[in-house]
C-alpha cells in the first residue's frame, strides 16, 4: 500500500507556521523542484516592522520564486507566495490573491485561519493545508475549514515540532489526515510532484 493517498486535483497548498517554523519551511522549500506543479501559500507569523529580509531569507535555498504578492495579484502555479508582514492574505475565486489589514485574529496578522479558510472557500477539496510548529492556536479553525470541504490536512508531528501548541490545537479541533515529520512532509510533496508528472 502506498504511504500517501495522492491525487492531481490539488490547486493550492497552504502552509501555516509560527515560532519554530522557519527551519522546517526552509527545508521544505529547498527540497521542492522549480517546476513543482501546485502553487504554495505561506502564512507565517513574523515581525510586523521587518518589511525586508524575510523573502530573501526564504529564497536563498529555494528553487522556486518566493514573492510577497501585491493585493489582487494573479496566482501563478510556479510561485511561492508569502503573506506580507502585517497583512492578512486570502485566496479568491478566480485565481488571485487579496490582502487586507483587518483586525488581528488570534493576535496575529497575517492570520493563518484567514489564509486557510479562504483557500477552502475558493478551492474546496482541491486544497492541502499544512500546519507547522507554533506557540498559539492560529490555523486550527482553518484546518477545520479545509477538512470540512474534503481538502487534505497535514500537521507537523507535535513530538518533533520545536513548539507543539499549534499542531496540537489543530489535532484537538479537527480530523487531520497525516501527522508527519518535516522529512515526511517533504517526501509527501515529492510524491505528489511525481504523481503530476506521470
Partner 1 sequence: MGDIEITELRKLTEFIKQEFDYDFKNYAMSSFRRRIQRVLDLYKMDSVDELIRLLAKQEFFFEEFISEVTVNVTEMFRDPTFWRVLREHIIPNILLNHNKISIWHAGCSSGEEIISMMIMLDEMGVADKAKIVATDVDKAIIERAKKATYPLKNMEVNRKNYLRYQGKYTLERYYKESGSEAIINPSLLENVSYRKHDLVQGSVFSKFDLVLCRNVMIYFNQTLQNDVLHKLHESLFKYGYLVIGSKESLIWCDIAHKFIVVNNEEKIYKKIKD
Count of H helices and E strands in the chain? 6, 9
Q: Three-state DSSP class for 81?
A: strand
User: Candidates 86-94, 154-162, 163-171, 188-196 — which segment interacts with partner 1 by CB under 8 A?
Assistant: 86-94
Does position 121 bind partner 1 by CB under 8 A? Answer: yes
Member of 24, 84, 129, 151 binding partner 1 (CB under 8 A): 84
Q: How far apart are CA 7 and CA 59, in angstroms?
A: 28
Residue 52 among the catalytic residues: no
User: Candidates 65-73, 156-164, 175-183, 190-198 — which segment interacts with partner 1 by CB under 8 A?
Assistant: 65-73
C-beta of 65 vs 102, nearer to partner 1:
102
Residue 18 among the catalytic residues: yes
Radius of gyration of the chain (CA): 15
Residue 59 among the catalytic residues: no
C-beta of 61 vs 72, nearer to partner 1:
72
Does position 56 bind partner 1 by CB under 8 A? Answer: no
Does position 91 bind partner 1 by CB under 8 A? Answer: yes
3-state SS, one letter per residue, for 154-193: EEECHHHCCCCHHHHHHHHHCCCCEEECHHHHHHHHHHHH
Does position 92 bind partner 1 by CB under 8 A? Answer: yes
The CA distances from residue 65 to 62, 75, 113, 146, 187, in Å, are 7, 13, 24, 25, 21
Tell which positions 100-119 bind partner 1, by CB under 8 A.
100-103, 114, 117-118
Burial label for 94, CB within 10 Å (0-12, 13-18, 19+), is: exposed
Tell which positions 143-182 bind partner 1, by CB under 8 A.
145
Member of 70, 78, 175, 197 binding partner 1 (CB under 8 A): 70
Dihedrals φ, ψ of 49, to 5°?
Answer: -90, -5
Instruction: Please give the residue ranges that form the binding site for partner 1 (CB under 8 A).
Output: 49, 51, 68, 70-73, 84, 87, 90-93, 98-103, 114, 117-118, 121-122, 141, 145
Which active-site residues does the annotation give? Answer: 18, 45, 138
Amino acid at each position: 500500500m502506498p504511504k500517501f493517498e495522492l491525487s492531481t486535483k490539488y490547486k493550492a497548498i497552504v502552509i501555516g507556521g509560527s515560532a519554530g517554523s522557519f527551519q522546517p519551511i526552509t527545508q521544505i522549500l529547498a527540497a521542492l523542484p522549480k517546476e513543482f506543479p501546485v502553487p504554495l501559500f505561506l502564512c507565517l507569523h513574523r515581525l510586523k516592522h521587518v518589511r525586508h529580509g524575510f523573502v530573501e531569507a526564504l529564497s536563498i535555498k529555494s528553487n522556486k520564486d518566493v514573492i510577497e504578492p501585491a493585493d489582487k495579484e494573479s496566482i501563478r502555479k510556479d510561485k511561492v507566495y508569502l503573506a506580507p508582514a502585517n497583512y492578512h492574505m486570502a485566496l479568491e475565486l478566480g485565481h488571485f490573491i487579496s490582502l487586507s489589514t483587518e483586525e488581528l485574529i488570534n493576535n496575529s496578522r497575517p492570520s493563518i485561519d484567514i489564509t486557510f479558510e479562504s483557500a477552502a472557500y475558493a478551492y474546496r477539496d482541491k486544497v492541502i493545508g499544512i500546519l507547522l510548529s507554533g506557540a498559539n492556536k492560529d490555523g486550527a479553525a482553518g484546518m477545520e475549514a479545509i477538512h470540512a470541504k474534503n481538502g487534505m490536512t497535514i500537521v507537523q508531528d507535535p513530538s518533533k515540532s520545536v513548539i507543539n501548541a499549534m499542531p496540537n490545537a489543530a489535532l484537538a479541533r479537527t480530523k487531520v489526515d497525516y501527522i508527519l515529520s518535516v522529512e515526511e512532509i517533504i517526501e509527501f510533496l515529492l510524491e505528489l510532484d511525481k504523481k503530476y508528472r506521470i
